[in-house]
Amino acid sequence: MGEKIFDCLVLGGGPAGMSAALYAKRGNIDVAIIDTNTLGGQPVNYLEIENYLGFPLIEGWELAEKFEEHINKFNIQKFTNEEIQSIDLISDIKTIKTLKDTYKARTVIVATGAKSAKLGIRGEAEFLGKGVSYCAVCDGAFYKDKEVVVIGGGNAAVEEGIYLTKFAKKVYIMHRRDELRADKIVQKRAFENNKIEFIFDSIPLEIQGEKRVEKLIYKNVKTDDKKELNIQGVFPYIGFSPNVELINGQIIQDEKGFIRVDENMRTSEVGVFAAGDVRKTPLRQVITAVSDGAVAGMSAVRYLEEVDMLIKEGALKA
Ligand code: NAP
Output the residue whose Cα is nearest ligand 1's atom 26.
239
CA of 219 to the centre of ligand 1 (A): 20
pLDDT tens digits for 120-143? Answer: 999 999 999 899 999 898 789 999
Q: Is 176 in the pocket of ligand 1 (CB under 6 A)?
A: yes
Confidence label for 258 from pLDDT (cuts 50, 70 and 90): very high
Percent of the chain past pLDDT 70, that is, above it, reads 99
CA of 153 to the centre of ligand 1 (A): 6
pLDDT for position 317: 85
CA-based torsion, 66, 67, 71, 76: positive or negative = negative
- From the list 39, 12, 19, the residue with the least C-alpha distance to 96 is 12
Output the residue whose Cα is nearest ligand 1's atom 48.
181
What is the arithmetic mean of pLDDT over 63-86? 97
Best residue for ligand 1 mutational test, from 51, 124, 155 (most atoms within 8 Å of Cβ): 155
Best residue for ligand 1 mutational test, from 124, 133, 137, 181 (most atoms within 8 Å of Cβ): 181
pLDDT at 1 over 80: no
pLDDT at 38 over 90: yes
Range in 44-48, 68-72, 128-132, 256-260 the model is least confident about? 44-48
What is the arithmetic mean of pLDDT over 112-116? 94
Output the residue whose Cα is nearest ligand 1's atom 28.
239
pLDDT at 318 over 90: no
CA of 109 to the centre of ligand 1 (A): 26
What is the arithmetic mean of pLDDT over 164-174? 98
pLDDT for position 49: 86
Output the residue whose Cα is nearest ligand 1's atom 23.
239
pLDDT at 261 over 80: yes
Question: Which of 48 and 54 is assigned the larger pLDDT?
Answer: 54
pLDDT for position 316: 87
pLDDT for position 32: 98
- From the list 22, 20, 69, 60, the residue with the least C-alpha distance to 41 is 60
Confidence label for 2 from pLDDT (cuts 50, 70 and 90): low
Parallel, antiparallel, or unpaired for β 5-11 and 102-110?
Answer: parallel
Q: Is 181 in the pocket of ligand 1 (CB under 6 A)?
A: yes
Best residue for ligand 1 mutational test, from 221, 284, 287 (most atoms within 8 Å of Cβ): 284
Confidence label for 65 from pLDDT (cuts 50, 70 and 90): very high
CA of 90 to the centre of ligand 1 (A): 33
* Pairwise CA distance, residues 261 & 187, whole Å: 33
Bridge partners for 58 per DSSP: 49
What is the arithmetic mean of pLDDT over 83-110? 97
pLDDT for position 150: 98
CA of 182 to the centre of ligand 1 (A): 8
Percent of the chain past pLDDT 90, that is, above it, reads 91
What is the arithmetic mean of pLDDT over 215-226? 98
CA of 311 to the centre of ligand 1 (A): 47
pLDDT for position 215: 98
- From the list 102, 99, 78, 74, the residue with the least C-alpha distance to 88 is 102
Q: Is 46 in the pocket of ligand 1 (CB under 6 A)?
A: yes
Average pLDDT, the chain: 96
* Pairwise CA distance, residues 187 & 158, whole Å: 7
pLDDT tens digits for 265-274? Answer: 999 999 999 9
Q: Is 42 in the pocket of ligand 1 (CB under 6 A)?
A: no
**Catalytic positions, please?**
135, 138-139
